[in-house]
Amino acid sequence: MKSRCLSFAEIISFLLITAVAWQGIRLIESSKLNEFSDPIATLYFWSGWVGVAFLVFSLLSPKFKKQLGLFALIAGILHSGIFIALDFDFHFDFIFIELSQKYYLYFGALSLLCLLICAIGSFGFFKKFRLYYVVYLALILSLIHWLMIQKILALNYLLIGFGLIILIGYKLLKIFTNKKYNF
């Protein structure tokens, strides 16, 4: 079993991406570009988008798909950590009340679970399974999570959602029409 650790260049790349993202968030928070008056809502928004962006880039860049998938997992853990630590201060009784009232949280949690399964699989486990289906499922679940949060679906949100559905459909069609896979 071939075990693969993150290289020094990958760790430095992640730290640079994190630093640039942090500076971007600080810039948005300190300027008139901020559409949120709540800093926790801003952190939710940006951590969620960064996670989805890493997932989409992992589908578009086969060379770096594992690294980008792990970055998406880290962004998902950060997104969940904001929910648990910053928003609810580890009061799990309030978290369970919130879970019973807002069903879109289940889709986000299932998406994070899919990313955890892919992360474990990227280190050589689950060799008989094709984990890219789990990545597609994670992206679909995060899309449902994101669309259910919106009170009003603006045109830009619908276009982004439609674009993600087209991308997933294209990737699945490409897999099923490829002759090397026998289904």
pLDDT band at 9 (very low <50, low <70, confident <90, very high): low
CA distance 145 to 149: 6
Entry pTM: 0.74
For 96-132, write each residue's pLDDT tens digit: 999 999 999 999 999 999 999 998 887 777 766 778 7
Q: How far apart are the first and last CA of the chain?
A: 26
pLDDT of residue 163: 87
CA distance 44 to 155: 21
Cα dihedral value 12, 79, 137, 115, nearest 10: 50
